[in-house]
Structure 1
Amino acid sequence: MGQPENPTSPTSTTQPPQTTTTTILPITTQTTTTYNKKLTLIPLIFLIYFEVAGGPYGEEPAVQAAGPLFAILGFLIFPFIWSIPEALVTAELSTTFPGNGGFVIWAHKAFGPFCGSLMGSWKFLTGVINIAAFPILCIDYMEKLFPVFGSGLPRTLAILFSTLFLSFVNYTGLNIVGMAAITLGIISLMPFVVMSLIAIPQIQPHRWISLGQKGVKKDWNLFFNCLFWNLNFWDTVSTMAGEVENPRKTFPKALLMSVILTCLAYIIPLMAVTGAVSVDQNEWESGFMAVAAEIISGKWLKIWIEIGAVLSAIGLFEAQLSSCAYQVLGMADLGFLPKFFGVRSKWFDTPWVGILISTLITLAVSRMDFTDIVASANFIYSLGMLLEFASFVWLRRKFPTLKRPYKVPLGIPGLVVMCLIPSAFLVLIMVIATKIVYLVSGLMTIGAILWYFLMNYLKKKKWCVFSNGDEIEDGEEMLSS
């Protein structure tokens, strides 16, 4: 199988003998092979975990929307409909094209530079909008312990300084972020383990079917959006593939372990709390897990879970900021952005320009109303995922002989079926969107298209220095041989 890159072969783009394992060299070696500190398996597992979940802190609205039975079934079944197919796609494509840029590379290789740029814009906008929510979530939980952060200048300053501090931590290195993810993941999950164990003697299985309310109208929009929000973003870690030690072996293992960890972290506390606590279904709002902890064991456990929520939000911020920053780096390497956007820190080897840009946009977005903005982020994320599934299937057809270190064991008809099921769910998410979401998402997409033509204009006029991303096309003839 071998290593994905060979930095000592500067002529690898013109030597035909290594046809199926070196054609990606032009897009992966510029910034990812001269550094020794690489992400290993365990930090990568927890980074993926924080890309997707970070704990069961957002699953409560599913119970409020559809009751305990549908919530439990949703978190049991939805991973097979959505999480596993997305993780399988990410595993195959990240190991085949292990460079910073991830899904941008996949869309580019499948359908050309326009689709690659559009994919990058959609995913980046989704990422920074999500990042902006986490410092606010931190302060919301801090507010319960320190009411001074409830409003006004103290709240604004707290969000500002927490964002800047967490961005600086990200700047200090991906290995630091990876080790922090392990620590934050273990600490934030521990109170749920304790709560679930304490709840066992109190569980009454009939509560898993109904909490006792009759005639409660189900909110399927909220229910499906809750499942989608809590179990997506498996592909975002692909933008850091160039920073992973032996990604062709490490990525599939890390994705498998993180899928198992994430699903267990959702379903075990959900079954424990719904079985042990008898409250009105309408009480299951975001943050109810902390209230349930106090009912089950006392205020000490509630405080522990609230602290865990803050730590989880920190982990989510760090993981997703890393993905956005390395996506910017990868797009610069590919020639979609000026070369300056790919500059790394001399001290920490991190893409400081990508971190800075992501942080500034995050601060701007954090002052907006999130209701429609986050819904719009889901909408354009869905557009990006439809393009990603199409790229996956088309790359199999376009390059049937390309060596894939990890390969989903299905033929093209099977892959189409595998991708059609989650794609149908994506279409459902978009169909039930509001008019304002259509408007905001449409404006974002128009902006993404204009951005592509602006970059081409700057490249044509030579007003900015761009990397030679066209080298990607040089290997396509070899890829198909």
Structure 2
Amino acid sequence: MTTPSPTVPLRQQLFRVKPVPKPGAEGSELKRSIGLFQLTMIGVGGTIGTGIFFILSEAVPIAGPAVIWSFIIAGVVAGLSVLCYAELAGAVPVSGSSYSYAYTTLGELPAMGVAACLLLEYGVSTAAVAVGWSQYVNQLLNNLFGVQLPHALSYAPEEGGVVNLPAIALIAMCAFILIRGTSHSAITNTIMVVIKIAVLLFFIAVGMTGWNADHFANFAPFGFAGVMTGAGLIFFSFVGLDAVATAGDEAKNPRRNLPIALISALVIVTTVYVLVALTGLGAQETDKFAGQSAGLSAILENIVGASWPGTVVAAGAVISIFSVTLVVLYGQTRILFAMSRDGMAPKIFQRVHPRTKTPVANTIIVAAIVSVLAGVLPINFLAEMTSIGTLAAFLVVSIAVIVLRRREPDLDRSFRVPLYPVIPILSIIGCLWIIKDLRPITIIVFVIWTAIVLVWYFFTGRKNSALAHRPIDTRTEDAL
């Protein structure tokens, strides 16, 4: 264990920054095997399915048909943040996403705060989507074979069950694929993304045949407050876009491909979300969404009067949500890999298998912890915790763009945020606006969790930091 020099003031230790890697000097222990199309599919695969297959049953009762605006608001805020991610991904093309960006701009202590957000965003969202997957597995089994898994083995204790076994099984399967190798994982994800988009287009085509404009009559029954609360919950559905940025160490030509993949994924995801939400609302009365399990399948079954369309959607959802779990589990392991390399997490998280070039022990540990969350916690709590972690991470990235522009104006950037500094400032405001409408318990749990991570940093990470015996760079203070 190393100890920072006693002559270095505490304030300088807390805000020391990592140097920005020079073009062509981004070395990596991991294998660069992911091209532009696969990077884009990581963003799409990690996002579509995270929410759209089951989030309507949670958001429509809160916002009514005006949930359309909730989707648009969440998408705009996510879009502003993605533009900021794109600039930083092109300037700092390494694994770790917003954690690494904060480390090179704001300093070590803020980076650990972001790490707390990312552990929520990726770890908790992996559990959340796995819980949603189990609902569609039951729907598919019922449609195909007329059987369902016992309630005790497919729901959390709070929902009257004992353990969500399908969710745990999904996480185990994804961990196995990730351990085999990144190129295998990327190919598997790309195939699943193509299938999921085809299934959602099928839902739109069939759903439009049941369109009824009267379903939009009482458009905003809970007013603007309901729309914003819905946006906070729906923001969970945009988790996964920034997973592209976690692949910095494994992307080919990262300075060019990371920004393009981020923006391309955003456009695809937002378009699909709005179309699916419009179709669902036009095909089903608002009051039927509450508590509806495997909602998209149920909507089609009601329209056609037969189970086969629902079976198609349920099968698509099973494949789709599988790919989401694969991507967010991947993102979590790569963030911990970056933290471990910096001395901010135990060394076991950076150990790479010599044959597969993947962090095997890291993947197994993360999968085990996430499996516990997925097995015993209900989906609504998991979704909100994911949203606040994502929003906080997006907020910091927007701040980091401003800091890095002022600190290193001549840095090579393959993409620049348009209308600077308007876009980053609007992104910051949008994130704060949605956060304020989340439930108090969500914010309280988030604050407690962040405090725990920062205590870990102060007593352990600070002393083990890879920068502990390097010259201190505190230019962040001059940039603020």
2:91 maps to 1:96: yes
Give the whole-Å Cα distance in 1 for the aligned partners of 2:316 and 2:332.
24
Counterpart position of 1:301: 309
Give the whole-Å Cα distance in 1 for the aligned partners of 2:284 and 2:470.
60
Alignment of 1:28-177 (within 5 A): 28-32=26-30, 35=31, 37-54=32-49, 56-60=52-56, 61-68=58-65, 70-80=66-76, 82-144=77-139, 145=141, 146-152=147-153, 157-177=165-185
Counterpart position of 2:158: none
**How much has 1:451 moved relative to structure 2?**
1.2
Aligned-partner SS, 1:423: helix
- The answer to whether the 8 A contact 1:101-1:330 is kept is yes
Greater CA drift, 117-126 or 70-79: 70-79
Alignment of 1:39-438 (within 5 A): 39-54=34-49, 56-60=52-56, 61-68=58-65, 70-80=66-76, 82-144=77-139, 145=141, 146-152=147-153, 157-210=165-218, 219-220=226-227, 222-278=229-285, 280-283=287-290, 285=292, 287-297=294-304, 298-370=306-378, 371-372=380-381, 374-412=383-421, 414-429=422-437, 432-434=438-440, 436-438=441-443
**How much has 1:156 moved relative to structure 2?**
5.1
**How much has 1:254 moved relative to structure 2?**
1.4
- The answer to whether the 8 A contact 1:139-1:159 is kept is yes
- The answer to whether the 8 A contact 1:139-1:149 is kept is no
Number of aligned positions between the proteins = 442
Structure 2: which amino acid aligns with 1:169? I
TM-score (norm 2): 0.82
Give the whole-Å Cα distance in 1 for the aligned partners of 2:222 and 2:207.
28
Structure 1: which amino acid aligns with 2:54? G
Distance 1:21 1:357, change over 3 A: closer
- The answer to whether the 8 A contact 1:336-1:469 is kept is no
Distance 1:267 1:140, change over 3 A: same
Give the whole-Å Cα distance in 2 for the aligned partners of 1:152 and 1:416.
45
Give the whole-Å Cα distance in 2 for the aligned partners of 1:222 and 1:474.
41
Which consecutive unaligned segments of at least 5 residues does structure 1 have? 1-18, 460-465
Counterpart position of 2:12: none
Counterpart position of 1:9: none
Aligned-partner SS, 1:56: coil
**How much has 1:347 moved relative to structure 2?**
2.2
Sequence identity, in percent? 18
Distance 1:457 1:216, change over 3 A: closer
Give the whole-Å Cα distance in 1 for the aligned partners of 2:203 and 2:373.
35
Give the whole-Å Cα distance in 1 for the aligned partners of 2:223 and 2:407.
51
**Counterpart pick for 2:459 among 439, 454, 478:** 454
**How much has 1:471 moved relative to structure 2?**
6.0
Cα RMSD for the two superposed structures: 3.3
**How much has 1:95 moved relative to structure 2?**
1.0
Aligned-partner SS, 1:408: coil
Aligned-partner SS, 2:29: helix
**How much has 1:453 moved relative to structure 2?**
2.1
TM-score (norm 1): 0.81
Aligned-partner SS, 1:242: coil
Distance 1:341 1:282, change over 3 A: closer
- The answer to whether the 8 A contact 1:335-1:469 is kept is no
Give the whole-Å Cα distance in 1 for the aligned partners of 2:168 and 2:233.
28
Q: Provide Cα deviations, 1:93-135, integer angstroms capped at 9, x if missing partner.
A: 0110001122122111222111112211321233111112233
Structure 2: which amino acid aligns with 1:65? I
**How much has 1:76 moved relative to structure 2?**
3.6
**How much has 1:53 moved relative to structure 2?**
2.7
Structure 1: which amino acid aligns with 2:110? C
- The answer to whether the 8 A contact 2:81-2:397 is kept is no
Distance 1:381 1:263, change over 3 A: closer
Aligned-partner SS, 2:405: helix
Aligned-partner SS, 1:406: coil
Distance 1:75 1:375, change over 3 A: closer
Q: Provide Cα deviations, 1:380-434, integer angstroms capped at 9, x if missing partner.
A: 443333323222211111111111111113333x2453333323324424xx422
Q: Provide Cα deviations, 1:28-67, integer angstroms capped at 9, x if missing partner.
A: 41424xx3x5111222112111322327213413333222
Give the whole-Å Cα distance in 2 for the aligned partners of 1:220 and 1:365.
29
Give the whole-Å Cα distance in 2 for the aligned partners of 1:217 and 1:284.
23
